[in-house]
Chain A
């Protein structure tokens, strides 16, 4: 079967408006998280990584918008615009569009929001993105909790392998809203400190916002220098609980097992794991158990939540993009916020940003509803660079 590549990419975030700038900030261990005190959003102060609204307006207005767009639409369109531009591709009938989000424009449901409630329909969001760029095909909107962003990559691959499309653009995004914060707070899942994935002193998640976009393609021509191709992918449900992870990490274990089998490689062939690491007690513990069941405990691993917070439906795609740059730069980035191991099984959390030759990485994610996804990526261009 022919290869499916993940190529051009963009991140719009608190750490910058293009992937390169964002990755440089990660290299320098700069976090986008800051303490926010806004009683209109949450009764108590909270940590979040927010996109600067003025910068977003400037970036978006350069695209000459002809109508009014929501904050999320501005983020998504700005992000996707760069990827389409750099891909230099005609948006014909062989080009698909996937939108990945958990809650889309859910802020439109708020009575004080200036947009009508109808704007909260996810298909409206899809339509607005499609029409901005004049995509020929209708968007495929995937909303599968916190695995959405990474699942979208597997979906793109499947559409390409079914010969429906040659190229698929994915744009993912969620915004920080009162809706989301109040919900996670009611679960007592929010930390009032900077999140500390896998650490003994972790006390929960921070919610952040990004828009992230990629081109997924079947052609090896004109690829971005940091391109990777998909070796194997799988999604498995825990069949256990709708809001808590399986204690044995069953779904994640099965996802990784099945992705490795499809990739036809062994656990020891993985150079780096970009894990989920939300910094809740149960999630991080579950991941450590699943990784140990597959003898992946020695592979260097990080969670990027200490840089961006948990960015929900965008997190999987955001972290895939950073993983691609990690491979290209041959650099393992420190798992921000981690000091002392606080899970019951050993895992190799990256404490210090270090250079190392990297060829293959595993991206995992888990979410409400018991869903888990794992994808294994390999460097497209295996020349040694930056070493």
Chain B
């Protein structure tokens, strides 16, 4: 895990569950709801939390930050869990606690609850990271005054493979919001 180009957490774990739990502890996150989340939400939430906390965003007050997230696998990881629970009629155990996470935008809800974001959020599915889309869509939100800033990126989780890349677009900053810069950040 790295923040603004600096590695902040680097540990090897046998699976995603152990890895994300260790990262949560190392970051001293203290948010019990975290443990109820599915893997995609844990990944998206923790990544967003690290970034926003470091920006000095106060989660006690309302924040006007839009969320524009994307990935390839949608909520497939949890979809498979729900499918497993209904596949065998002799071992049938669908659960609302699992089913609610069979939507990719639930992770946006989790972040919105923690940071009091009563703002725009949308989840898009692309075959691969799509800087052009994130750039265009974020520009439209900023120009229409839909939000003061926009947290954008890619949160992919499938089995033990995960990839999360988030960046914050706002009026102040060191790097200009361009498609080229988004790609550069993504590749570093």
Contacts and interface: CB of A to CB of B under 8 A. Distances in A.
B74 interface: yes
A369 B79 CA distance: 16
A123 B105 contact: no
B106 interface: yes
A161 interface: yes
A78 B115 CA distance: 43
Contacts of A241: 109, 113
Interface string B61-80: 00000000000111010011
A236 B83 contact: no
Interface size class of A (residues with CB under 8 A): 35 or more
Interface stretch (B12-20, B49-57, B137-145, B165-173): B137-145
A162 interface: yes
A179 B76 CA distance: 12
B123 A162 contact: no
A141 B126 contact: yes
B117 A145 contact: no
A242 interface: yes
A159 B94 CA distance: 39
Contacts of A236: 118-120
A70 B186 CA distance: 35
B102 interface: yes
B143 to A, nearest CB: 8
Interface size class of B (residues with CB under 8 A): 35 or more
Interface string A172-201: 000000110011111100000000000000
A184 B80 CA distance: 16
A238 to B, nearest CB: 7
A185 B125 contact: no
Contact of A164 (B103, B118, B136): B136
A251 B79 contact: no
A142 B122 CA distance: 8
Contact of A237 (B76, B118, B136): B118
A183 B104 contact: no
A28 interface: no
A215 interface: no
Nearest to B158: A121
Contacts of B99: 182-184, 186-187
Contacts of A179: 79, 82-83, 86, 102
A143 B123 contact: yes
B58 interface: no
B108 interface: yes
Given A140-B124, A158-B144, A368-B103, A254 B86 contact: no
Contact of B108 (A127, A161, A186, A369): A369
Interface in A325-371: 367-371
B123 A254 contact: no
Q: Is the interface of A mostly helix, strand, loop or mixed?
A: mixed
B133 interface: yes
B118 A126 contact: no
A102 B80 CA distance: 15
Contact of B83 (A109, A138, A159, A370): A109
B102 A103 contact: yes
Contacts of A161: 140
B95 interface: yes
B148 interface: no
A154 to B, nearest CB: 9
A187 B100 CA distance: 9
A323 B6 CA distance: 52
B118 A123 contact: no
B109 to A, nearest CB: 4
**Residue picked from B73, B110, B119, B133, most chain A C-beta under 10 Å:** B119
A153 B139 CA distance: 17
B126 A123 contact: yes
Contacts of A243: 96, 100
A369 B101 CA distance: 9
Contacts of B74: 104, 121-122, 143
A121 B112 contact: no
Nearest to A183: B99
Contacts of A68: none
A141 B70 CA distance: 10
22 contacts: A103-B79, A110-B87, A138-B126, A140-B124, A142-B122, A142-B124, A143-B74, A143-B103, A155-B122, A155-B137, A158-B141, A182-B99, A183-B99, A238-B109, A238-B112, A243-B96, A250-B118, A368-B100, A369-B108, A369-B109, A370-B109, A370-B113
Top 9 A-B residue pairs of the complex, sorted by shortest distance between their CB atoms: A183-B99, A369-B109, A158-B140, A141-B125, A186-B94, A237-B112, A122-B125, A182-B94, A369-B105
Interface of B: 72-74, 76, 79-80, 82-83, 85-87, 92, 94-96, 99-100, 102-106, 108-110, 112-113, 115-127, 133, 136-137, 139-141, 144, 146
